[in-house]
Structure 1
Amino acid sequence: MSDIEIPIEDFRPPSLRTMARVTALQRRYFAATLEGAENVDPQRPGLFVGNHALMGVLDSPLFVYELYRQTGVFPRSLGDHFHFPTPVWGKLVTRFGAVPGTRENCRRLMESGQHVLVFPGGAREVAKRRDEINKLVWKKRTGFVYMAIEQGFDIIPFASLGCDEAYDIVYDGDDFANGWLGKRLLGNDKVNSLMRGGDLFMPLVKGIGPTLLPKAEPFHFSIGKPIPTAHLQGQENDPAVLWQLREQVSDAITSMLSSMDEARKAQPRPLWRKVLGARKH
């Protein structure tokens, strides 16, 4: 997969000062806020589960920074496999704690008492379609609840709002799959496999005007109350138990997204944000 050495048990997180420096520009531009930090117990490792936003790289570092700043918790992210062989980028995400998202890696992180972060929607949720803004795209995935139950980890749901609206989707995966080129490419077994049936087709987007500069849309994060799983240990192979817990987690995230959306409607927007494309609600 990659010749990058990926530490599991012996990882040392970057300092808060380093994180502040790395995210400084994003924090100022997106005015990121986080509520619900009181739901995190730094002494009780948990599995953070949230929605992956469009494009996937703007909001995640800001959530991790705010969580780190407010609670001292630096979670280890389970990442899609394509990140790690990528030159430069693979080393960067590894430096900031990400590991390939396998059950074995997740198990090792949990057994060594580390907080873990996962986006069940993965790359497909990052590659949103026009009708999927601020929605979960998890397919039928239950691996994250399997691991939480197996290890008796609390699931800590969190939601991210704003990033999906920093860009407008011009051409999405459905457009590609239904077009002449997409049909030809996805009709090739090898290409179809590489693109996971079109799931890895990143949408073409625009931000401010016709540019790729994201709109100055404020980002909001919310952490919900922990969902215990210890009482379910030994039932991780029961599909009904897995699905019920998965739906409980997704309902919690969807509810937080709805609540934050209502709350932000009452928040005033500076003129400069409106000029730079932020929604006017």
Structure 2
Amino acid sequence: MALTLSNSTVPLSPLSTLNENHKLHSCVHIKDLVTRSQESVWICGASSVNRKGTDVISYGDGGENGGGNSGEDVLEELKTFWDDGYGTQTIKDCAVAAMDLITTSDKGPPRWFCPVTCGKPFKDSPLLLYLPGIDGTGTGLGVHIKSLGKVFRVQCLHIPVWDRTPLEGLIEIVEEMMMIEHTLSPNKPIYLLGDSFGGALALAIAARNSTTDLILILANPATSYEKTMIHPLMSVIKSLPEEHYGIFPYAISPFFGNYIKMAMVRSTGRNHMQTLSELPANIRNDLPSLTSLARIVPKDTLAWRLKLVESAAAYANSRLHAITAQVLVIASGNDYMLPSKYEAQRLSRLLKHCEVRLFEENGHTILLESDVNVLSVIKATHMYRRFSKHDILKDFISLSITEFKTSAVDTWWYRLAMGAALFSTMEDGKIVRGLAGIPDEGPVLIVGNHMLMAFDSFPLVMEFHREKKYVLHSLTHPELFNINAEHEDVMIPVTDIMKLGGAIPVSGRNFFRLLAKKSHVLLYPGGVREALHRKGEIGKLFWPEKQEFVRMAVKYGATIIPYGGVGEDDILELIVDYNDIKKIPFLNLMWTAYNQGRKNLREGMGGEIAQQHFHMPYFLPKRPGRVYYLFGKPIITKGKEHMSNDKDYLQELYSQIKCDVKNNMAYLLKKREEDPYRDIVDRFVWLMINGTLDQIPSFET
């Protein structure tokens, strides 16, 4: 091996200079995909290491754009509403970058590069290796590169057009990079993000490296190659005259992906009218890029790449049993190139640790289409971690601006239907609209009542994000983080929203850690029994007789804020409750079986609080009224930490909190009668006149 600096060559023994203070980060930096310059591929402050014919560029500690973790400007964490750059780059930018790569720097063997737009990741970010699809350019991650670059040290594999490295050689190139990273950071996971062919390649690599801590993210993996429409076309491609090959990309372009969703990427997070008005122009701008396959992948190269796909699929399929890595499959429901939906289901059955997220409306080029945010999917499945074990608090990443704008519980129609009106109480007892009465400095413990199905927590958490710009961690029943396969279609969209918003499984340890971090915590003492209450129990509290959370809150000097919420009776009407379910044999049998082995957090307490049976009550929606929240006067426990073992004081404080919650609910039930915008029609008229859903008027306090 040799270390190449400019035009000189200096012998270097393998890994002799690699240590904890000198990490291999980016390989080649590519210019910003949006602002092009004539110099499209360049190396900044880097040394080129040639190992077994593979170009690797390693950055020193002080590289300006090196993407390393050293330096004073490395972030400890990402703040709420951080800019993920989603929508700033599209398929057109990816195609332009690909053409620049193959025209200016496409000689030699496969190599790794890191786009400049990745920027610097935050502290202790793991390595992510992007394995491209059949195009081999490595630019297919452009839509997601800015967001992934914030939390990963991204490396993209580029396979030059005329390179003929066999499958074994490509596997060795990736394994070599993995070996270097594992030597430098043995306690960190290594991510392989494989797109189509890259997905099959990633599985093949994982099968050979069962002892390495790998996490695989597979986008429409090509392990189903034998069932695809392309497989029978190999002979056609070989016999196609060179002068007619230019027609081939146009012929198959309708099968590549959903062009409308590709064009909608840059409109993500905007209102629907604006998106529709911009769509024709976006499609016109992107169309030339959609047919660039003939220039990026010539005929001979395409035939070679298809052989690689076939080999990778066969290799991976024969060794699926050997894969021990965590696997996340991101699959399209409308993939006309591969049967990706059914392949994802097959892989989930055969692999030991496999999660699937299905996007029904997307096509084969899922990474270039709207409505798919790779980082969001990784976060929602709890597959993002920086060390050997996932830490639900340390590895939590707050909502980006795109995640907030595209959340299902922040759509205009959901906000209009809920009409959430929040009030808080200042320290002098004055009730004000909004959250001004909630302290910004933690720890803060917010304690309240549950409405039916706990639907009230969604607008509450989102309003905290919107107004206070910080995360409100909701302590949630652990069973909601362990969904059975038969309930995935219903529950996963809900639980994914909860996880992205900061929901944490309720436990004494997690509660302790949140308070120690001075977080804002949302707690519902009534738990499942209160959220799945029966008919005639609206607003009834099912709290334990003895205090559970107060001692911990006092021990950490937390500010406790009792809150009351009402409005369930304006939104839903309960038709079949748990008592009714027990009288219906097939429903009773189904839910009894479901609850077998489920964790009951109140087991042994006796009384109604212990009746925490999971079930799905049946209800009818009403013409929406409005939900209201009142946060009571803050209860300051700072300076009283010494009283955390005083049982009389703790019980008195617990009773005060419970009483305040009831009083807050009673206040709201009375005052909502004075609200001129309690009905959805009145709120809709306000929206049409004022053009905003923020701070729709309510009753006078």
CA distance in 1, matches of 2:552, 2:438: 19
1:234-270 C-alpha deviation (Å, 9 max, x unpaired): 4434443332111111111111111111111122354
Q: Match of 1:69?
A: 466
Structure 1 gaps, min length 5: 209-213, 274-281
Residue number in structure 2 paired with 1:226: 634
* Residue 100, structure 1, aligned to residue 508, structure 2: no
- Which one is further off, 91-100 or 72-81? 91-100
Structure 2 unpaired stretches of 5+:
1-354, 356-380, 383-389, 425-434, 601-609, 683-701
Structure-1 separation of matches of 2:458 and 2:593? 35
Total equivalences in the alignment: 264
Please tell me whether residue 28 in structure 1 is matched to residue 416 in structure 2: yes
What is the TM-score when the length of structure 2 is the normalising length?
A: 0.34
With over 3 angstroms needed to count, the CA separation of the structure-2 counterparts of 1:222 and 1:145, relative to structure 1, is same
Alignment-derived partner of residue 211 in structure 1: none
1:47 aligns with 445
Aligned to 2:660: 252
- Provide the secondary structure at the position in 2 that maps to 1:39: coil
Q: Secondary structure, in 3 states, of the residue corresponding to 2:454?
A: coil
Counterpart for residue 625 of structure 2: 217
* CA distance 1:190–1:203, shift in 2 (3 Å): closer
> What residue is the counterpart of 2:575 in the other structure?
170
1: CA distance, partners of 2:443 / 2:594? 41
Whether the 8 Å CA contact 1:156–1:226 is kept in 2: the answer is: yes
After superposition, the Cα gap between the structure-2 partners of 1:250 and 1:17, relative to the gap in structure 1 and judged at 3 Å, is: farther
4+ residue runs of structure 1 moved beyond 6 angstroms?
Answer: none
Q: Partner of 2:231 in structure 1? A: none
Q: CA–CA distance in 2 between the matches of 1:65 and 1:267?
A: 22
State the TM-score, normalized to the length of structure 1.
0.80
Counterpart of 2:653, as a letter, is L
Q: CA deviation at 1:166?
A: 1.9
Query: Which runs of structure 2 are paired with 1:1-281 in the superposition (5 Å)?
Result: 4=382, 5=390, 7-15=392-400, 18-22=403-407, 23-24=410-411, 25-36=413-424, 37-57=435-455, 59-86=456-483, 87=488, 88=492, 89-140=494-545, 142-176=547-581, 179=583, 181=585, 194=598, 196=600, 198-202=611-615, 204-208=617-621, 214-268=622-676, 269-270=678-679, 272=681
Give the % identical residues: 26
Write out per-residue CA displacement over residues 151-172 of structure 1, whole angstroms, 9 at most, x where no aligned residue: 1111112222113542222232
What do the CA deviations read for 1:48-84 (whole angstroms, capped 9, x no partner)? 1111111113x21111122222222321111101111
1:123 is displaced (CA, Å) by: 0.9
Where does residue 320 of structure 2 map in the other structure?
none
Shift of 1:122: 1.0
Shift of 1:147: 1.8
Aligned residues of 1:42 and 1:72 also touching (Cα < 8 A): no
8 Å contact from structure 1 (residues 192, 198) kept in 2:
no
- Partners of 2:653 and 2:438 lie apart in 1 by 19
- 1:107 Cα deviation from its structure 2 partner: 1.0
Contact kept in structure 1, 2:576 and 2:619, CA below 8 Å: no
In 2: Cα distance, 1:97 partner to 1:195 partner: 22
Tell me if structure 1 keeps the 8 A contact 2:626–2:679: no
For 2:423 and 2:440, the matched residues in 1 are separated by 16
How far does the alpha carbon of each residue in 1:139-193 deviate from its partner, in whole angstroms, 9 at most, with x for none? 325222122112111111222211354222223234455x4859x97xx999677
Alpha-carbon distance between aligned partners in 1 of 2:443 and 2:559, rounded to the nearest angstrom: 8
Indicate the SS of the match to 2:536: helix
Once the two structures are TM-superposed, the CA of residue 133 in structure 1 deviates from its matched residue by 0.4
Alpha-carbon distance in 1 for matches of 2:416, 2:574: 24
- 1:100-147 deviation line (CA, Å, top 9, x unaligned): 101111111111221111111111110111222022221325222122
